[in-house]
Structure 1
Protein backbone atom coordinates (compact mmCIF):
# COMPACT_ATOMS: atom_id res chain seq x y z
CA UNK A 1 0.00 0.00 0.00
CA UNK A 2 1.66 3.30 -1.10
CA UNK A 3 2.19 5.95 1.52
CA UNK A 4 2.84 9.64 1.11
CA UNK A 5 4.93 10.99 3.94
CA UNK A 6 3.95 14.31 5.46
CA UNK A 7 7.42 15.60 4.59
CA UNK A 8 6.79 14.74 0.91
CA UNK A 9 3.44 16.54 0.91
CA UNK A 10 4.99 19.58 2.60
CA UNK A 11 7.90 19.66 0.14
CA UNK A 12 5.52 19.48 -2.82
CA UNK A 13 3.25 22.22 -1.47
CA UNK A 14 6.28 24.44 -0.82
CA UNK A 15 7.47 23.83 -4.39
CA UNK A 16 4.07 24.98 -5.66
CA UNK A 17 4.25 28.14 -3.55
CA UNK A 18 7.84 28.82 -4.69
CA UNK A 19 7.02 28.44 -8.40
CA UNK A 20 7.22 31.77 -10.27
CA UNK A 21 3.76 31.18 -11.77
CA UNK A 22 2.03 30.50 -8.44
CA UNK A 23 1.13 34.07 -7.44
CA UNK A 24 -0.17 35.10 -10.89
CA UNK A 25 -2.15 31.85 -11.12
CA UNK A 26 -3.69 32.31 -7.67
CA UNK A 27 -4.53 35.95 -8.46
CA UNK A 28 -6.19 34.88 -11.71
CA UNK A 29 -8.22 32.18 -9.98
CA UNK A 30 -9.44 34.55 -7.26
CA UNK A 31 -9.92 37.78 -9.20
CA UNK A 32 -10.02 36.73 -12.85
CA UNK A 33 -13.04 35.85 -14.95
CA UNK A 34 -14.95 32.68 -14.19
CA UNK A 35 -13.75 29.62 -16.01
CA UNK A 36 -16.15 28.97 -18.86
CA UNK A 37 -15.65 25.26 -19.39
CA UNK A 38 -16.25 23.64 -22.78
CA UNK A 39 -19.35 22.78 -24.75
CA UNK A 40 -20.05 19.17 -25.64
CA UNK A 41 -17.91 18.18 -28.62
CA UNK A 42 -15.63 21.23 -28.30
CA UNK A 43 -12.66 19.21 -27.04
CA UNK A 44 -10.44 16.74 -28.88
CA UNK A 45 -11.80 13.89 -26.79
CA UNK A 46 -14.13 13.09 -23.91
CA UNK A 47 -13.55 14.84 -20.59
CA UNK A 48 -13.30 12.98 -17.31
CA UNK A 49 -13.38 14.99 -14.10
CA UNK A 50 -11.88 13.35 -11.01
CA UNK A 51 -13.12 14.70 -7.69
CA UNK A 52 -12.24 13.70 -4.13
CA UNK A 53 -15.24 13.26 -1.85
CA UNK A 54 -13.19 14.87 0.97
CA UNK A 55 -11.88 17.77 -1.13
CA UNK A 56 -11.90 20.99 0.89
CA UNK A 57 -10.62 23.20 -1.91
CA UNK A 58 -13.18 22.29 -4.58
CA UNK A 59 -16.13 21.18 -2.50
CA UNK A 60 -18.03 18.04 -3.54
CA UNK A 61 -21.24 20.05 -3.91
CA UNK A 62 -19.53 22.01 -6.72
CA UNK A 63 -19.48 18.96 -8.99
CA UNK A 64 -22.84 19.95 -10.49
CA UNK A 65 -21.34 23.26 -11.65
CA UNK A 66 -18.34 21.46 -13.16
CA UNK A 67 -20.62 19.11 -15.09
CA UNK A 68 -22.68 22.06 -16.35
CA UNK A 69 -19.54 23.89 -17.52
CA UNK A 70 -18.14 20.80 -19.23
CA UNK A 71 -21.19 19.37 -20.98
CA UNK A 72 -20.90 15.66 -21.63
CA UNK A 73 -18.08 15.18 -19.10
CA UNK A 74 -17.95 12.06 -16.98
CA UNK A 75 -17.55 12.53 -13.22
CA UNK A 76 -15.40 10.11 -11.24
CA UNK A 77 -15.59 10.48 -7.47
CA UNK A 78 -12.64 9.27 -5.42
CA UNK A 79 -13.51 7.81 -2.03
CA UNK A 80 -11.31 8.65 1.00
CA UNK A 81 -9.70 11.39 -1.06
CA UNK A 82 -9.02 15.11 -0.72
CA UNK A 83 -7.86 17.64 -3.33
CA UNK A 84 -4.93 15.55 -4.61
CA UNK A 85 -6.15 12.13 -5.83
CA UNK A 86 -2.63 11.29 -7.00
CA UNK A 87 -1.54 11.48 -3.34
CA UNK A 88 -4.56 9.92 -1.64
CA UNK A 89 -5.48 7.26 -4.21
CA UNK A 90 -2.47 6.93 -6.54
CA UNK A 91 -3.36 3.58 -8.12
CA UNK A 92 -6.95 4.61 -8.80
CA UNK A 93 -5.84 8.03 -10.14
CA UNK A 94 -3.34 6.34 -12.47
CA UNK A 95 -5.99 3.94 -13.79
CA UNK A 96 -8.44 6.81 -14.33
CA UNK A 97 -5.87 8.84 -16.27
CA UNK A 98 -4.83 5.89 -18.42
CA UNK A 99 -8.40 4.81 -19.13
CA UNK A 100 -9.52 8.38 -19.82
CA UNK A 101 -6.70 9.11 -22.26
CA UNK A 102 -6.35 5.71 -23.93
CA UNK A 103 -7.69 4.49 -27.26
CA UNK A 104 -11.03 3.41 -25.77
CA UNK A 105 -11.58 6.91 -24.37
CA UNK A 106 -10.84 8.49 -27.75
CA UNK A 107 -13.46 6.17 -29.26
CA UNK A 108 -16.03 7.29 -26.70
CA UNK A 109 -16.00 4.18 -24.51
CA UNK A 110 -14.51 3.64 -21.07
CA UNK A 111 -14.29 0.62 -18.84
CA UNK A 112 -15.38 0.68 -15.23
CA UNK A 113 -12.67 1.59 -12.77
CA UNK A 114 -12.41 -0.52 -9.67
CA UNK A 115 -10.72 0.90 -6.61
CA UNK A 116 -8.20 -1.34 -4.88
CA UNK A 117 -9.43 -2.98 -1.67
CA UNK A 118 -7.43 -0.71 0.64
CA UNK A 119 -5.44 2.31 -0.38
CA UNK A 120 -5.08 4.93 2.37
CA UNK A 121 -2.34 7.53 2.27
CA UNK A 122 -0.57 8.78 5.37
CA UNK A 123 -1.79 12.30 4.59
CA UNK A 124 -5.50 12.65 3.98
CA UNK A 125 -7.92 15.59 3.94
CA UNK A 126 -10.19 15.38 6.97
Structure 2
Protein backbone atom coordinates (compact mmCIF):
# COMPACT_ATOMS: atom_id res chain seq x y z
CA UNK A 1 0.00 0.00 0.00
CA UNK A 2 1.36 3.42 -0.94
CA UNK A 3 1.24 6.35 1.44
CA UNK A 4 2.69 9.84 1.85
CA UNK A 5 4.34 11.61 4.75
CA UNK A 6 5.05 15.33 5.12
CA UNK A 7 7.64 17.00 7.33
CA UNK A 8 9.72 20.18 7.59
CA UNK A 9 13.33 20.50 6.45
CA UNK A 10 15.55 23.47 7.41
CA UNK A 11 16.75 25.84 4.69
CA UNK A 12 18.33 29.26 4.36
CA UNK A 13 14.79 30.67 4.12
CA UNK A 14 13.44 28.82 7.13
CA UNK A 15 11.77 25.40 7.46
CA UNK A 16 10.39 24.08 4.17
CA UNK A 17 7.67 21.41 3.79
CA UNK A 18 8.62 18.21 2.00
CA UNK A 19 6.27 15.37 1.03
CA UNK A 20 7.53 11.88 0.23
CA UNK A 21 5.60 8.94 -1.21
CA UNK A 22 6.48 5.46 0.02
CA UNK A 23 5.23 1.91 0.36
CA UNK A 24 5.71 -0.16 3.51
CA UNK A 25 5.30 -3.91 4.00
CA UNK A 26 6.64 -6.72 6.16
CA UNK A 27 7.87 -7.23 9.70
CA UNK A 28 11.24 -7.16 11.40
CA UNK A 29 14.04 -4.62 11.56
CA UNK A 30 13.37 -1.61 9.30
CA UNK A 31 14.96 -1.59 5.84
CA UNK A 32 14.87 1.57 3.71
CA UNK A 33 15.09 1.10 -0.09
CA UNK A 34 16.36 3.95 -2.30
CA UNK A 35 16.11 3.92 -6.11
CA UNK A 36 18.34 5.49 -8.77
CA UNK A 37 18.02 8.70 -10.77
CA UNK A 38 14.99 8.76 -13.06
CA UNK A 39 13.54 5.61 -11.50
CA UNK A 40 10.87 5.10 -8.84
CA UNK A 41 10.30 2.86 -5.84
CA UNK A 42 8.73 0.13 -8.01
CA UNK A 43 12.26 -0.69 -9.17
CA UNK A 44 12.41 -2.77 -5.98
CA UNK A 45 9.21 -4.73 -6.65
CA UNK A 46 11.03 -7.93 -7.73
CA UNK A 47 12.69 -8.25 -4.29
CA UNK A 48 10.21 -6.62 -1.90
CA UNK A 49 8.20 -9.75 -1.06
CA UNK A 50 11.38 -11.72 -0.35
CA UNK A 51 12.75 -8.98 1.88
CA UNK A 52 9.43 -8.44 3.65
CA UNK A 53 9.55 -11.97 5.05
CA UNK A 54 12.40 -10.80 7.34
CA UNK A 55 12.30 -7.00 7.31
CA UNK A 56 9.95 -4.05 7.72
CA UNK A 57 10.51 -2.75 4.19
CA UNK A 58 10.03 0.93 3.33
CA UNK A 59 10.49 1.65 -0.41
CA UNK A 60 10.74 5.39 -1.05
CA UNK A 61 10.14 7.66 -4.03
CA UNK A 62 12.91 10.25 -3.70
CA UNK A 63 11.74 13.88 -3.91
CA UNK A 64 11.15 14.85 -7.54
CA UNK A 65 10.86 11.22 -8.65
CA UNK A 66 8.03 8.72 -8.88
CA UNK A 67 4.99 9.91 -6.95
CA UNK A 68 6.94 12.28 -4.67
CA UNK A 69 6.54 16.00 -5.45
CA UNK A 70 9.53 18.15 -6.29
CA UNK A 71 11.47 19.84 -3.51
CA UNK A 72 10.24 23.35 -2.69
CA UNK A 73 12.18 26.39 -3.83
CA UNK A 74 15.20 26.94 -1.62
CA UNK A 75 16.10 23.25 -1.29
CA UNK A 76 18.78 21.89 -3.61
CA UNK A 77 18.99 18.39 -5.08
CA UNK A 78 22.45 17.86 -3.58
CA UNK A 79 23.83 15.28 -1.17
CA UNK A 80 23.65 17.39 2.04
CA UNK A 81 20.03 18.35 1.38
CA UNK A 82 18.96 14.84 0.40
CA UNK A 83 20.69 13.46 3.52
CA UNK A 84 18.73 15.92 5.62
CA UNK A 85 15.49 14.99 3.85
CA UNK A 86 16.06 11.27 4.39
CA UNK A 87 17.00 11.82 8.03
CA UNK A 88 13.78 13.80 8.54
CA UNK A 89 11.82 11.08 6.72
CA UNK A 90 13.16 8.44 9.11
CA UNK A 91 12.22 10.61 12.06
CA UNK A 92 8.72 11.20 10.69
CA UNK A 93 8.22 7.45 10.17
CA UNK A 94 9.78 6.68 13.59
CA UNK A 95 12.56 4.61 12.05
CA UNK A 96 15.40 4.28 14.53
CA UNK A 97 18.56 3.85 12.44
CA UNK A 98 17.11 1.54 9.77
CA UNK A 99 19.15 -0.66 7.50
CA UNK A 100 19.39 0.91 4.05
CA UNK A 101 19.86 -0.50 0.55
CA UNK A 102 20.22 1.69 -2.53
CA UNK A 103 20.84 1.35 -6.24
CA UNK A 104 22.91 3.81 -8.32
CA UNK A 105 22.05 7.28 -6.92
CA UNK A 106 20.29 5.44 -4.10
CA UNK A 107 23.49 3.51 -3.37
CA UNK A 108 25.43 6.76 -3.05
CA UNK A 109 22.76 8.16 -0.74
CA UNK A 110 22.86 4.96 1.33
CA UNK A 111 26.63 5.31 1.76
CA UNK A 112 26.22 8.96 2.77
CA UNK A 113 23.64 7.93 5.38
CA UNK A 114 26.10 5.34 6.63
CA UNK A 115 28.90 7.89 6.86
CA UNK A 116 26.57 10.10 8.91
CA UNK A 117 25.79 7.04 11.14
CA UNK A 118 22.07 7.44 10.54
CA UNK A 119 21.63 3.76 9.60
CA UNK A 120 22.56 0.33 10.98
CA UNK A 121 23.98 -1.10 7.77
CA UNK A 122 24.43 -0.16 4.12
CA UNK A 123 23.99 -2.25 0.99
CA UNK A 124 24.93 -0.30 -2.15
CA UNK A 125 24.13 -1.81 -5.56
CA UNK A 126 26.23 -0.17 -8.30
CA UNK A 127 26.50 3.06 -6.29
CA UNK A 128 27.31 6.35 -8.01
CA UNK A 129 30.34 8.38 -7.00
CA UNK A 130 33.24 5.98 -7.63
CA UNK A 131 33.73 7.04 -11.23
CA UNK A 132 36.64 8.62 -13.04
CA UNK A 133 35.87 11.90 -14.87
CA UNK A 134 35.59 10.03 -18.19
CA UNK A 135 33.31 7.37 -16.65
CA UNK A 136 31.09 10.06 -15.14
CA UNK A 137 30.75 11.87 -18.47
CA UNK A 138 29.88 8.59 -20.17
CA UNK A 139 27.27 7.66 -17.53
CA UNK A 140 25.68 11.12 -17.63
CA UNK A 141 25.56 10.98 -21.43
CA UNK A 142 23.74 7.64 -21.31
CA UNK A 143 21.28 8.91 -18.71
CA UNK A 144 20.53 12.08 -20.67
CA UNK A 145 19.95 10.02 -23.82
CA UNK A 146 17.56 7.73 -21.95
CA UNK A 147 15.68 10.75 -20.57
CA UNK A 148 15.45 12.33 -24.04
CA UNK A 149 14.04 9.15 -25.58
CA UNK A 150 11.54 8.63 -22.75
CA UNK A 151 10.24 12.19 -23.14
CA UNK A 152 9.95 11.98 -26.92
CA UNK A 153 8.19 8.63 -27.21
CA UNK A 154 4.37 8.89 -27.34
CA UNK A 155 2.63 6.76 -24.72
CA UNK A 156 0.90 4.50 -27.31
CA UNK A 157 4.32 3.67 -28.78
CA UNK A 158 5.73 2.83 -25.34
CA UNK A 159 2.72 0.61 -24.62
CA UNK A 160 3.09 -1.17 -27.96
CA UNK A 161 6.83 -1.76 -27.48
CA UNK A 162 6.29 -3.06 -23.96
CA UNK A 163 4.09 -5.92 -25.20
CA UNK A 164 7.02 -7.84 -26.73
CA UNK A 165 10.33 -9.01 -25.32
CA UNK A 166 12.12 -7.25 -28.19
CA UNK A 167 10.32 -4.00 -27.41
CA UNK A 168 11.10 -4.23 -23.69
CA UNK A 169 14.73 -4.85 -24.64
CA UNK A 170 14.74 -1.71 -26.79
CA UNK A 171 13.32 0.35 -23.92
CA UNK A 172 15.24 -1.01 -20.92
CA UNK A 173 18.35 -2.98 -21.98
CA UNK A 174 20.57 -0.14 -20.78
CA UNK A 175 19.65 -0.80 -17.16
CA UNK A 176 18.65 -4.49 -17.23
CA UNK A 177 20.73 -7.42 -18.43
CA UNK A 178 17.51 -9.46 -18.76
CA UNK A 179 14.94 -6.87 -19.90
CA UNK A 180 12.54 -9.51 -21.21
CA UNK A 181 11.78 -10.47 -17.61
CA UNK A 182 10.27 -7.07 -16.83
CA UNK A 183 6.49 -6.96 -17.15
CA UNK A 184 4.92 -4.72 -19.82
CA UNK A 185 3.14 -2.70 -17.14
CA UNK A 186 6.40 -2.12 -15.24
CA UNK A 187 8.22 -1.01 -18.40
CA UNK A 188 5.51 1.51 -19.25
CA UNK A 189 5.47 2.84 -15.67
CA UNK A 190 9.22 3.28 -15.40
CA UNK A 191 9.45 4.91 -18.85
CA UNK A 192 6.84 7.43 -17.69
CA UNK A 193 8.70 7.87 -14.38
CA UNK A 194 11.88 8.74 -16.26
CA UNK A 195 10.08 11.16 -18.58
CA UNK A 196 8.20 12.92 -15.78
CA UNK A 197 10.92 13.09 -13.09
CA UNK A 198 10.91 16.75 -12.03
CA UNK A 199 14.16 16.37 -10.10
CA UNK A 200 16.17 14.76 -12.89
CA UNK A 201 18.15 17.68 -14.33
CA UNK A 202 18.94 19.31 -10.98
CA UNK A 203 20.04 15.98 -9.49
CA UNK A 204 22.28 15.28 -12.48
CA UNK A 205 23.84 18.75 -12.29
CA UNK A 206 24.58 18.28 -8.59
CA UNK A 207 26.19 14.93 -9.37
CA UNK A 208 28.82 16.56 -11.59
CA UNK A 209 30.79 17.56 -8.49
CA UNK A 210 30.30 14.29 -6.59
CA UNK A 211 33.21 11.98 -5.81
CA UNK A 212 32.95 9.52 -2.92
CA UNK A 213 36.39 9.62 -1.27
CA UNK A 214 35.83 8.94 2.44
CA UNK A 215 35.52 5.73 4.42
CA UNK A 216 32.29 4.64 6.12
CA UNK A 217 33.47 3.72 9.61
CA UNK A 218 31.55 1.77 12.26
CA UNK A 219 28.74 0.73 9.91
CA UNK A 220 28.67 -2.63 8.06
CA UNK A 221 28.84 -1.95 4.31
CA UNK A 222 28.17 -4.23 1.35
CA UNK A 223 28.95 -3.04 -2.18
CA UNK A 224 27.57 -5.20 -5.01
CA UNK A 225 28.12 -4.79 -8.73
CA UNK A 226 26.51 -6.46 -11.73
CA UNK A 227 28.95 -7.98 -14.18
CA UNK A 228 26.88 -6.57 -17.07
CA UNK A 229 26.39 -3.04 -15.76
CA UNK A 230 26.34 -0.77 -18.84
CA UNK A 231 26.13 2.57 -17.00
CA UNK A 232 28.55 2.34 -14.07
CA UNK A 233 31.19 -0.17 -15.14
CA UNK A 234 32.12 -2.82 -12.60
CA UNK A 235 35.74 -1.73 -12.10
CA UNK A 236 34.25 1.08 -10.01
CA UNK A 237 33.48 -1.60 -7.42
CA UNK A 238 37.22 -2.15 -6.96
CA UNK A 239 37.63 1.58 -6.29
CA UNK A 240 34.78 1.42 -3.79
CA UNK A 241 36.58 -1.38 -1.93
CA UNK A 242 39.77 0.68 -1.82
CA UNK A 243 37.94 3.69 -0.38
CA UNK A 244 35.79 1.64 2.03
CA UNK A 245 38.28 -1.14 2.84
CA UNK A 246 36.10 -2.97 5.36
CA UNK A 247 33.23 -3.22 2.89
CA UNK A 248 32.11 -6.60 1.58
CA UNK A 249 32.44 -6.50 -2.22
CA UNK A 250 30.01 -8.84 -3.99
CA UNK A 251 29.91 -9.78 -7.67
CA UNK A 252 26.45 -10.17 -9.23
CA UNK A 253 26.92 -12.50 -12.23
CA UNK A 254 24.80 -11.71 -15.27
CA UNK A 255 23.21 -8.64 -13.69
CA UNK A 256 22.92 -5.14 -15.14
CA UNK A 257 22.82 -1.71 -13.55
CA UNK A 258 19.50 -2.39 -11.79
CA UNK A 259 20.10 -5.98 -10.64
CA UNK A 260 16.88 -6.36 -8.66
CA UNK A 261 15.05 -7.37 -11.83
CA UNK A 262 17.82 -9.55 -13.26
CA UNK A 263 18.31 -11.86 -10.25
CA UNK A 264 15.83 -11.09 -7.45
CA UNK A 265 16.82 -14.07 -5.28
CA UNK A 266 20.52 -13.21 -5.36
CA UNK A 267 19.97 -9.50 -4.72
CA UNK A 268 17.57 -10.17 -1.84
CA UNK A 269 20.08 -12.55 -0.28
CA UNK A 270 22.87 -9.97 -0.59
CA UNK A 271 20.70 -7.32 1.09
CA UNK A 272 19.56 -9.63 3.89
CA UNK A 273 23.09 -10.88 4.52
CA UNK A 274 24.35 -7.31 4.60
CA UNK A 275 21.72 -6.27 7.13
CA UNK A 276 22.30 -9.08 9.61
Q: TM-score range by the shorter chain?
A: 0.5 to 0.7
| Deviation of 1:90 (Å) | 0.9
Structure 1 runs (4+) deviating above 6 angstroms are none
Q: Residues 66 and 17 (structure 1 numbering): CA distance in 2 closer, same or farther, change over 3 Å? A: farther
Deviation string, structure 1 residues 29-54 (Cα, Å, up to 9, x no partner): 2x213122424xx24x2100110000
TM-score by length of 1: 0.65
> Structure 1 regions of 5+ residues with no counterpart?
103-126
Q: Residues 37 and 83 (structure 1 numbering): CA distance in 2 closer, same or farther, change over 3 Å? A: farther
Question: Aligned with 1:50: secondary structure?
Answer: strand
Cα separation, 1, equivalents of 2:245 and 2:231? 22
More strand by share: 2
Q: Superposition RMSD on alpha carbons, in Å?
A: 2.1
Contact 2:226 2:254 in 1 (8 A): yes
> Structure 2 regions of 5+ residues with no counterpart?
1-45, 47-180
Cα separation, 2, equivalents of 1:65 and 1:19? 30
Aligned to 2:263: 89
Contact 2:224 2:237 in 1 (8 A): no
Aligned to 2:189: 11
Q: Residues 17 and 69 (structure 1 numbering): CA distance in 2 closer, same or farther, change over 3 Å? A: farther
Count residues in correspondence.
Answer: 97
Cα separation, 2, equivalents of 1:20 and 1:84? 21
Match of 1:61 among 219, 232, 235: 235
TM-score by length of 2: 0.32
